[in-house]
């Protein structure tokens, strides 16, 4: 196999998720992941510090996209309208690989306490990115934090519906995520 073959990162993620599901997270080694992906261990370590990092692959990019979408929302946008702009921006980058990988990743996370902890930290990181972007727009801290948390919930709900839905339909992740945000907005109005 050629050195630096394109797609190595994606192959490593797919191989890891499959092995985590087949063997369990604890029983899976970096060497097994690299072998399944058709790369050497050194290639694995060029992309990831350790096997735990595979779960959060893409988190920095997703956080950046959410924050950019919020920053680019119109000046008069409410905090949730700005979050919606961030969700649209991030959802627009999700493709067939994300949709295919999601159910397998969900199964792997469900089977491992350590992966559940990493998944929870990923959610915290996404909420922080949105909160920080909202504060930069002048939104008060408590309001920004609430809107950021609602954004994470909306993204998770929309992503779950999209990834678990009928593959023969052209469900739009952005539409599903924004619908989830609207549902959460309506639900929050009943808390009063």
Alpha-carbon gap, residue 94 to 169, rounded angstroms: 16
- Please give the pLDDT value at position 170: 63
pLDDT in tens, 10-41: 889 889 988 988 888 889 999 999 999 999 99
- Could you tell me which residues come within 8 angstroms of residue 58 by beta carbon, excluding any fewer than 6 positions away? none
- Binning pLDDT at 50, 70 and 90, where does residue 1 land? very low
- Binning pLDDT at 50, 70 and 90, where does residue 96 land? confident
- Please give the pLDDT value at position 6: 57
Alpha-carbon gap, residue 182 to 180, rounded angstroms: 5
For the cut 70, the answer to whether the pLDDT of residue 167 exceeds it is: no
Alpha-carbon gap, residue 68 to 85, rounded angstroms: 9
Rounded average pLDDT over 105-127: 88
pLDDT in tens, 129-159: 999 999 999 999 999 999 999 999 999 999 9
Alpha-carbon gap, residue 150 to 80, rounded angstroms: 8
């Amino acid at each position: 196999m050629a050195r630096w073959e394109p797609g190595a990162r994606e192959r490593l993620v797919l191989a890891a998720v499959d092995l985590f599901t087949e063997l369990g997270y604890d029983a899976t080694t970096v060497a097994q992941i690299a072998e399944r992906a058709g790369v050497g261990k050194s290639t694995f370590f060029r992309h990831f510090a350790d096997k735990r990092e595979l779960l959060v692959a893409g988190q920095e990019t997703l956080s950046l996209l959410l924050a950019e979408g919020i920053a680019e929302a119109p000046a008069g946008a409410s905090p949730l309208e700005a979050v919606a702009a961030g969700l649209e921006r991030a959802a627009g980058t999700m493709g067939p690989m994300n949709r295919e990988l999601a159910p397998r990743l969900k199964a792997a996370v469900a089977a491992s306490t350590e992966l559940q902890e990493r998944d929870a930290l990923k959610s915290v990181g996404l909420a922080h990115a949105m909160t920080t972007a909202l504060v930069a727009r002048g939104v008060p801290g408590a309001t920004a934090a609430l809107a950021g948390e609602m954004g994470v919930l909306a993204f998770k709900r929309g992503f779950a519906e999209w990834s678990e839905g009928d593959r023969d339909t052209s469900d739009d992740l952005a539409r599903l995520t924004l619908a989830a945000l609207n549902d959460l907005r309506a639900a929050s109005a009943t808390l009063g």
